[in-house]
Amino acid sequence: MHILKFIISLGLCFTFINGFSQKNTSKSEKVKDSITYKTNYGLRLGIDISKIAISTFNKNYKGLEIVGDYRILKNWYIATELGYESEETNEYYTSSTSKGSYIRLGANYNVYKNWLDMNNEVYVGGRYGFALFEQTLNSYIPNTSSTYFPSKTNTNTIKEIGLKAHWLEFQIGIKVETLKNLFIGISGSYKVGINIQDQNNFKTLYSPGFNKVFKSKTGFGFNYTISYLIPFRKK
């Protein structure tokens, strides 16, 4: 009888210990599950360093672009780019220069799901672009078919100011947080011209912010940025 009582008591003891252990484990799991990671919301400002590099090595180009975005929702950002460009375009019969300022305004959507407290982006976005620029026809050779009286280069410059360009563009890119609140980004864009004004009797070959204008009034863009996030809050 004493042995039987001892076995029963021991079994009840193990049952109590096991139940207590499971209760503590479930509490611990609930505590772990309740941990949330907050990320910074704020204004991110930066610069397109690719334009600085091109300006350094290409004497026919000068450009500067400031980039910025503001996070409004978990995956949504209001984004903009402001810049100035000057590009000399040399064709077989002509040489022309376009220079002016531009703005692109739109939004980005982050399709990347971050782990824990990471704050990286793989995004798709859209922009409306507007440029105000001037174009100068530096020189041109009249296109004639005479072999006996070949045309000479005309160097009388012709300038027209107040030209405007409107376009839409689709962007895709990435932004990686390399240091605390410091981001490196790269993106590409496809542009569709809505209305790109031409100089009188001469077609616009390059528009600031839009880049080279093809016959189809489409264009492509690329940038490589470094930016810093000014955090306002965490969410």
Question: If DSSP codes are grouped into helix, strand and coil, which group holds residue 79?
Answer: strand
Q: Which tens digit of pLDDT belongs to each residue from 9-41?
A: 544 444 444 554 454 444 444 444 456 667 889
Estimate to the nearest angstrom the gap between the alpha carbon of 65 and the chain centroid: 11
**35-44, 81-90, 218-227: least confidently modelled range:** 35-44
Q: Which tens digit of pLDDT belongs to each residue from 58-71?
A: 999 999 999 999 99
Average pLDDT over residues 110-138: 93
Task: Give Cβ neighbours of residue 141 (< 8 Å, ≥ 6 apart).
Answer: 93, 94, 151, 152, 153, 154
pTM as predicted: 0.80
Task: Give Cβ neighbours of residue 73 (< 8 Å, ≥ 6 apart).
Answer: none
Strand ranges inside 180-217, DSSP E: 182-196, 206-207, 211-212
The pLDDT value given to residue 204: 93
Q: Does residue 141 contact residue 101 with C-beta atoms inside 8 Å?
A: no
Closest CA to 33 of 25, 41, 44: 25
Q: In terms of pLDDT, which residue wins out, 36 or 230?
A: 230
